[in-house]
């Protein structure tokens, strides 16, 4: 296998982008990535998207998006893994370049969620329809069950959950692409309306529109396109039972753990080598469970991590310096690519006030459903 680098990145703002279309957002992000690398052609394209058919009535995104950027004729494929679609698209693009099939491949993600669809019901299609959604258990309820299980097992508190939101809003307030560029307090989080107890509104990621794209090539060709390539050191993908009830413990995300094990082994690093991480905080409890499953903190110790400053900028392992899904936004198909972009910019030293000084190795973890799929990528500064 060839070594692979990211040589270009592009991203829209995330938010309620009422005046932007699915294809227009994709074109903006893709054109930005191509301009960043100074290229005018692609050998292949992977588009991460969860539910354009339900959100805006559009399927067959590969050829649509290729033609939108003047690349009709190239191999172009949509990749779907619920909210992990972007991460799965990045992994597919990595494999194509690493295998030698292609030299210049784009991995992109896009989602248009604010066009009138019943977002809760659309997202619920990523849960088990017979065992969960049919009985009214959509994702707020499922993650509430995860939170209750974590609380009962490890003593995690509602204030611990609130600190995750406070931390990520603090980071997101410094991100010009974030949907919510404002800070919140613990009191505001705990006083926000209940969604599915113990989860409140400010524990939850928003409904977002947006797109993101990265450009991959063999590492030995990267100097043609950029002076600051970032190497993909490892990749891992794993799944777990779709239904929460079929797992040994709702509080333990086995797919996250397994995908991380694969990525760490491939990269030749361990959790202690990670200096900055983006993890899938669709709900505050998700960040807590993910950092445990990734080995960034001990199992059961994730609840205190944000409150103690461990995962904040300046802490031992800064997590979600972009603001995470909570503050940056969560256009589901684009999220995994946006996470990768944050790590790339951190390793390039381009994150401004959010910069983790001296960061050389970073991790991005993207998750689908209630943890039924997880993709982990590990990146290194060249």
Catalytic site positions: 83, 330
Number of CB atoms found within 10 A of residue 348's CB: 19
Instruction: Calculate the alpha carbon distances from 342 to 91, 98, 169, 201 in Å.
Output: 17, 22, 15, 25
Contact 339, 191 (CB under 8 A): no
State phi, psi for 146 to the nearest 5 degrees: -60, -45
Contact 107, 89 (CB under 8 A): yes
């Amino acid at each position: 296998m060839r070594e692979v680098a990211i040589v270009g990145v592009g991203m829209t703002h995330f938010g309620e982008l009422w005046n932007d279309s699915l294809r227009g957002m994709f074109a903006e992000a893709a054109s930005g990535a191509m301009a960043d690398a100074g290229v005018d052609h692609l050998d292949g394209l992977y588009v991460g998207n969860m539910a354009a058919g339900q959100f805006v009535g559009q399927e067959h995104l590969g050829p649509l998006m290729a033609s939108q950027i003047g690349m009709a004729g190239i191999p172009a494929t949509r990749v779907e893994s619920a909210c992990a679609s972007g991460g799965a698209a990045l992994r597919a693009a990595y494999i194509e370049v690493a295998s030698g099939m292609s030299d210049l491949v784009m991995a992109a993600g896009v989602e248009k969620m604010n066009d009138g669809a019943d977002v809760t019901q659309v997202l619920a299609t990523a849960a088990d329809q017979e065992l969960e959604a049919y009985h009214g258990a959509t994702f707020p309820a499922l993650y509430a069950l995860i939170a209750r299980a974590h609380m009962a097992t490890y003593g995690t508190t509602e204030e611990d959950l609130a600190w995750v939101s406070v931390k990520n809003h603090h980071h997101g307030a410094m991100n010009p692409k974030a949907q919510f560029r404002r800070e919140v307090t613990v009191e505001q989080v705990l006083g926000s309306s209940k969604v599915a107890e113990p989860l409140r509104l400010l524990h939850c990621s928003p409904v977002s529109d947006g797109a993101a794209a990265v450009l991959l090539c063999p590492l030995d060709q990267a100097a043609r396109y950029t002076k600051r390539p970032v190497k993909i050191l490892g990749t891992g993908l794993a799944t777990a039972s779709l239904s929460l009830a079929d797992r040994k413990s709702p509080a333990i995300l086995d797919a996250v753990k397994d995908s991380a094990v694969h990525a760490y082994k491939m990269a030749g690093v361990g959790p202690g080598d990670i200096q900055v991480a983006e993890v899938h905080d669709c709900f505050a409890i998700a960040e807590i469970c993910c950092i445990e499953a990734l080995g960034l903190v001990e199992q059961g110790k994730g609840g205190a991590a944000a409150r103690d400053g461990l995962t904040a900028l300046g802490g031992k392992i800064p997590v979600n310096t972009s603001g995470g899904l909570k503050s940056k936004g969560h256009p589901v198909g684009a999220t995994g690519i946006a996470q990768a972009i944050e790590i790339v910019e951190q390793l390039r030293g381009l994150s401004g006030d959010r910069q983790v000084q001296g960061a050389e190795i970073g991790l991005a973890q993207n998750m689908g459903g209630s943890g039924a799929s997880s993709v982990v990528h590990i990146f290194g500064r060249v």
